[in-house]
Amino acid sequence: MTELTLLAAYGLLVMLTIILQALGSFRTLSIGYLMSARDEPREVGRMTNRIKRALDNSVVAMALFAPAVLLLEVQGKTDANSLLAAQVFLVARIIYLPVYALGVPAIRTLAWTAGFAATAILYFLAL
C-alpha cells in the first residue's frame, strides 16, 4: 500500500458518497425530476441533506489531500510517516461519512479534525 493507493481509494470513497447522495434523492424525488434540468429546486430528506453536506466537505478535503500526496510523490519524499498520515486521513474520512449521515455530533468533528491534521502533516513532510 502506498500513498497513491490511498488516494485512489479516497477517490472511490467520494464516488460512493455521490452514489449514496443520488440514491437518497431517488427516495424523496421522482426519477423524472432527477433526470430533468432541475430548474426549480426541491427539498430532499434530512439524511440525504447530511450526505450532501458530507460530500461537499469531502470534495474540499480531497482538493487538499490530493496535492499533498502528489507533492510527496514528485519529490520522492514518501516515507513511513507520510504513509501513516495518509492512512489516518483515509480512516478518518471513512468514519466521517456514516457518522455525519447518522448525525453523531462529536465523533464527526473528531474525524474531520484527524483528517485535516493528517493532511497538514503531509504538507509539512512535503516541504
Partner 1 sequence: MTPELTVLTLAALLQIVQFALYAVPANLELTPGYTMSPRDRDPSREMSERTARLGRAFDNHFQNLALFTIAVMVLAFSDQSTAFTAACAWVYLIARVLYIPAYAFGWTPARSYIWFAGFLATTLMLLAALI
Binding site for partner 1 (CB under 8 A): 2, 4-5, 7-12, 14-15, 18, 32, 34-39, 59, 62-63, 66, 70, 73-74
Of 67 and 104, which has the nearer Cβ to partner 1?
Answer: 67
Of 23 and 102, which has the nearer Cβ to partner 1?
Answer: 23
Of 35 and 127, which has the nearer Cβ to partner 1?
Answer: 35
Closest approach of Cβ 83 to partner 1, in Å? 15
Of 34 and 106, which has the nearer Cβ to partner 1?
Answer: 34
Closest approach of Cβ 105 to partner 1, in Å? 26
Closest approach of Cβ 49 to partner 1, in Å? 17
Torsion on CA atoms 107, 112, 91, 25, rounded to nearest 10: 90
Interior/surface letters 44-78, b for 16+ CB within 10 angstroms, e for the rest: beebbebbbebbebbeebbeebeebbeebbeeeeb
Q: Which residues contact 92 (CB under 8 A, 6 or more apart)?
A: 111, 112, 114, 115, 118
Closest approach of Cβ 78 to partner 1, in Å? 11
The dihedral built from the CA positions of residue 11, 16, 17 and 21, taken in this order, carries a sign that is: positive
